[in-house]
Structure 1
């Protein structure tokens, strides 16, 4: 039996696989990004989720997480889980590797994550051969929920957006400039807060101003993140993440319009990761 986790900044999807029966049990918990969590918090979250689950026959844990790109960050996650699961072997990978395995499978291609944040890599069918430069939400995260939300907030409060859109925004959120700045600069996780405005963008996606904003956001991602990985535009470009999924139509249109080869668009990679590891078990 194995336990697999796919963790972003906002939430973590877990799946427990019984190799003998092929039965899969799914769990959902909070995001466990080592840049904004602690070893103790990882332990407490695992304890909360799995306190009543019998893991007597658990043979391995595979954790794919946002922010798990350094040995220090991987150790934070593994030590937090090890405190609960004791002798169980734990492997921690960056979420980009999970996306690549889930989307590209054994094929050469580009794997992209568009959620609260964003990232991409070139995968050759067995390993990542080149990662995009990831600068985080303050300097990067093009194409992400944060990027979308930031563009909308910017347009509303600088009164660049049409008056009716500004009115609709203020009517929905009742948010003064003072309150907005307090949320961003005085409270934790401002990236998640700004990304939450992507809901408003989705509700108004047919408005010409919003439609252009969405296309511009995805075009920024393709030009600044994907194109350096795929300069000839000859590789299939795959996507996973909430933003890629919920703005699937706009993403597809931007891809085709700019000459990129569209691959898969999956809401969550967890199911494909489960299939990947289940196949590996069967080969053993």
Structure 2
């Protein structure tokens, strides 16, 4: 708020100072007087020699003013504007004027610093910038435009470009979507099939051994009984000793 108030007061002071010399200077850029005799100008930009002006930055220009005649010129102010580079009569923005009370004697030269500011909302494209110095000489009113060229308004560099990051994410998502569609199409053609998993037999738990006999399932059957030799009952007094020779019975003692 203080900055806007300061600019408004400065503009009023410049308009008041200029009005003491010429009432037409209330609208200086729409009624520019002729240059003074022998009045020469030059300029240079300390930081923007390429004429690329970032939107939102303060641009400084050094105006070199020289009196090549026998007259003394009194510098009143410098005005500037941002115009259409295709139609100069179309104004987009008027820069804040700066008042000067400097005299240039014959053969002398002065350097004046002038700064202007391009708003943030201006698009990045070409514009025409015109900067004019207003001065007087023995009751005559003059003006010389020391800069009038096409410039490029560019975006101010950002540490993090959110739009660029969004574009990268969108590109990655598009590539992933195309890859998924291609994979689904290949699967539908039958080039890749899922293999069925083979069932593996369950193994008995380690440490548990079967104690059952292989012939246990034959218990209680005739087959089991037939395999066993019949047991002979021996009575007392009729005990015969088996001879080692098969079929021979040992005599009784």
When normalised by structure 1's length, the TM-score is 0.21
When normalised by structure 2's length, the TM-score is 0.22
Higher fraction of strand: 2
Task: Tell me which structure has the larger Cα radius of gyration.
Answer: 2
Higher fraction of helix: 1
